[in-house]
A and B are shown apart, each in its own frame.
Chain A
Amino acid sequence: MSPDKQSPPLTDEQLDAQQSLALVQGQQAHVRARTQIDVGLLYGAWGTAWLVGLGAMWAARSGASPVEVPVPVAGVLLSGLIVGAGVVTATHSARQARGVRGEDDLRGVLYGWSWFIGFGTLFAVLVALGGQGVDREVLELLWPTMSCLLVSVLYMMGAAVWRDPHMFALGAWFAVCVTAGVLVGMPGMLAVMSLAGGGGLLAAAAYFTVRRLRA
């Protein structure tokens, strides 16, 4: 074993340094995978709910749809996918954070409650409006519009809390989707939200998943 000039043989100390660095990097990856939120997973779950759920709702309402979907089926699919994405978000966040407490905990709790209270109130308002004889057509436009607007604002506020420009961009993109959807009107707005809104979320999911796998 004669060492060549380019790479002198490693001394014990250098070899040890290399092993140590590998140990650090391996453990960092292990801890990150088990404690950090996989935003790619969460955006993927919500993007699927929007794309498939709202897509099914559009298919049920639009005469232009190539497949016939009964309205109740689309409704069950949409709500099921939204509940599913909510469950994925809650269980994944709780699993990654278990046993860890920090200064950011209160932010997460209050942000979670903002979603809960925001959508609870929106639901109450729209049901009440329906009970007060507001036009069915207006209500049908209000449901997706107001929901998407609330999501948009909550994303932008979440971005402010966690200093996350990507999240802000998504929130702002949803605002564009709402505006475009209202201009198109029903049932086209459902297609706009499914493709542009859900598509935006899935694009974000792909971006973050690729970034995580490369890191």
Chain B
Amino acid sequence: MTASTELDPVIHAQARLRVMTTLATLGPRDQITFPRLQQLLEMTAGNLSTHLRRLEDAGYVAVDKAHSGRTPVTYVSITGPGRRAFEDYLAKLRELLGGSTP
């Protein structure tokens, strides 16, 4: 019982939950630049970097360093396993709340 409803600790933290929600809400294969992501989350760059690293280590997000001309641009996206983990997390939240659908 507890094992089946245990929430993924990588996602279950306010900042990372908001990051995952934001990435999952974009189009299926969309990538977003670091500054725009930061703006949508209203987080500091340092704070966002820390949480992105944790999510990247878990394989939930991909960080892609590209170039736009000579300027480096960092693109962030949710991975397939990340999306599945996020969906599982939401399903467990609903289960904990007694199966009520939002």
Interface residues of A (CB under 8 A from B): 13-14, 17-18, 20-21, 23-25, 27-28, 30-32, 34-35, 98-104
The answer to whether A31 touches B40 (Cβ under 8 A) is: yes
Contact of A103 among B7, B14, B29 (CB under 8 A): B29
Q: Check B31–A102 contact: CB distance below 8 A.
A: yes
Measured CB to CB, the closest approach of chain B to A139, in angstroms, equals: 44
The answer on a CB contact under 8 Å between A100 and B97 is no
Q: Indicate if the CB atoms of B97 and A18 lie closer than 8 Å.
A: yes
- Which A residue's beta carbon lies closest to that of B41? A27
Among A13, A18, A27, A103, which residue has its beta carbon within 8 angstroms of that of B25? Answer: A27
Total interface residues on B, CB under 8 Å, equals 28
Q: A30-B40, A31-B40 are in contact. Are A23 and B14 (CB under 8 A)?
A: yes
Distance of B42 from chain A, by nearest CB (Å): 9
Determine if B54 is an interface residue (Cβ-Cβ < 8 Å): no
Contact B31 A101 (CB under 8 A): yes
Closest to B24 in A: A28
| Chain B residue at minimal CB-CB distance from A17 | B96
B36→A99 contact, CB < 8 A: yes
Cβ-neighbour of A99 out of B27, B32, B93, B96 (below 8 A): B32
Contact (Cβ within 8 A) A21 B102: yes
Which residues on B are within 8 Å of A, measured CB to CB?
A: 7, 12, 14, 17-18, 21-22, 25-33, 35-37, 39-40, 75, 90, 93-94, 96-97, 102
| A-B pair number, CB within 8 angstroms | 73
A150 to B35: give the CA distance in the assembly, Å.
39
Contact of B22 among A14, A31, A101, A103 (CB under 8 A): A31
26 residue pairs of the A-B complex, CB under 8 angstroms, read: A14-B97, A17-B96, A20-B12, A20-B93, A21-B90, A23-B14, A23-B18, A23-B21, A24-B17, A24-B93, A27-B18, A28-B25, A31-B21, A31-B25, A34-B40, A98-B36, A99-B32, A99-B33, A99-B37, A100-B26, A100-B32, A100-B33, A100-B36, A102-B27, A102-B28, A103-B28
Q: Which of chain A's residues have a CB closer than 8 A to the CB of B40? A: 30-31, 34-35
CB-CB under 8 A from B90, the residues of chain A are 21, 24
